[in-house]
Structures are given as C-alpha cells and as structure tokens.
Amino acid sequence: MDPGWEPGEPGEPGWAQPGAALGGRGLLALAAASGAAVWATWAVLLMPGFRRVPLRLQVPRDPRTPSRPARPPLTPLCPQVPYQPSSPRQVANSLALLRGRAGKTVDLGSGDGRLVLEAYKQGLRPALGYELNPWLLCLANYRAWKAGCHGKVSFLKKDLWKVNLSDCHNVIVFLAPSVKPPLATKLLAELPDDARVVAGRYPFPSWTPSSTLGQGLDQVWAYDIKEVRREVQGSAQQSQV
C-alpha cells in the first residue's frame, strides 16, 4: 500500500469507486450470495415445517410423484412426509359433488387452502380449513389474500380430532387410508343428517358412496350422512339377529 494514500483516493486496489459498474465476477458473486441466502432460509425455516406432519394426519402420497431414497426410521409423532397438494382435477371433482349445496363447509387438513378457496367461490359459506402445519397456514392465508378472499375464509390451527363438527354441512377429506376408520366414527357421531362428506384419493372403506366422480387418482367419493347412518344401523341390527 502506498504510504501516502488516503482512504477514498482513486487507484487503491480492492476498493470500488462510487458509481462504478460491477464486473462479471461481482455479479456472479452477488448471485451466488443471494442463492445461498434463499436456500438457507428454506432449509432452516420453511422446509422443517413443510415436512413435519403428524402421522395421524398424513396426506396419502401421490404414486405419480417420483419415489425417494429410503430414510432412517422416524418417530411416530413427527415423520418426514412431504406435503401433497390436491391436483386441479381433484379440486374440480370435489367441488362438483358439492354443487348446489349450502351451509358451513370445512376441509379437514386444508393444506395450502385451495379447496377452501374454491368452495367459497362456489358459494359454500362459511368456508374454513383446519390445519396443524403453521407454514401451510401462512401459505393458505397468502393465497386467500392474493385471491381477494382475505377475511372471507378462515384457516385455523386446530386438531381435527378436537373440533366439534356438529354445525358442518359439507366436509372435505384428503387424508391417508389409516385415518378413515376412526374419522368415520367421529363424523357419524357429530355431523347432522343433511351433511355430505367428500373424500379424495381414498374412500371410506366401510361406507357406500352416494355418488362418485373421476377415475384413478382423481376419483372422489360423496357420502350423505343420513344414508350412511341408515346403512350402519341396518348392519348393526342384522349382526344382532
């Protein structure tokens, strides 16, 4: 360094002058730093929230999604299960089976809120979703704001096993097959007779659907609770004979 050099004087190596354009290396370094910051934010803050889904509320994995390498055994309270949103066709089929209906509509395990938003747009109000993942709740509220529905739909951080569904007339369920039997007991105990339940990806194994729509992974099933109760009661009476 020149002994007579003063800070701010031109010509000193390593100091960019005000207004000077970044060179190719500078732009490359800036892009790399920005990418690293975004990745760090995702890895530290967002990814854990998206991957930690309680076992009892797992969304079934879409077989069309490429499989991942085997992972070490996981604890039952916090398995690493990637979130699987409903496809546009699954959403359309679900709402088609609720067309013409009215009353409170809930999505049990509402994810990013797409089914709740479409239900509201179809005139099913109030429309709300129950979801435990805080990051998905943030995403759902953002989607609602972006769609102009902020304050018109609700997304609540509540355990579906602890909420009372007695005032719900339309229920949407996209959950794993292992959840369906205990959930069926809860729905039969709490829902009113005029309620309708729409299940996506997997049907309720012991219920006969009132109608169904779609094929393969896009198939959805509708169950009218009054008919299901009549069928369950009839089966119980026959078993007692």
Do residues 132 and 108 make contact, with C-beta atoms less than 8 angstroms apart?
no
Other C-beta atoms within 10 Å of 234: how many?
A: 10
Distance CA 10, CA 31 (A): 27
Q: Mind listing the pLDDT tens digit for each residue in 61-90? A: 455 544 443 443 333 333 344 678 899 999
Per-domain boundaries in the chain:
88-239
Rg (CA), the chain: 26
Do residues 107 and 136 make contact, with C-beta atoms less than 8 angstroms apart?
no
- The token duo for 22 is 């970044």
Other C-beta atoms within 10 Å of 50: how many?
A: 16
Which among 134, 136, 36, 126 has a CA at the least distance from the CA of 83? 136
Which among 188, 231, 180 has a CA at the least distance from the CA of 210? 231
pLDDT of residue 15: 42
Q: Is the pLDDT of residue 150 over 70?
A: yes
Q: Mind listing the pLDDT tens digit for each residue in 199-232? A: 999 999 999 999 999 999 999 999 999 999 999 9
- The CATH architecture that domain 88-239 belongs to is 3-Layer(aba) Sandwich (3.40)
The H or E element containing residue 211 is strand 211-213
Q: Considering the entire predicted model, what is its pTM?
A: 0.68
Q: Mind listing the pLDDT tens digit for each residue in 22-64? A: 566 766 766 666 666 655 555 544 444 444 444 444 454 455 5
Q: What is the mean pLDDT of residues 113-140?
A: 96
- The token duo for 204 is 């309720």
pLDDT of residue 92: 97
Q: Mind listing the pLDDT tens digit for each residue in 156-192? A: 999 999 999 999 999 999 999 999 999 999 999 999 9
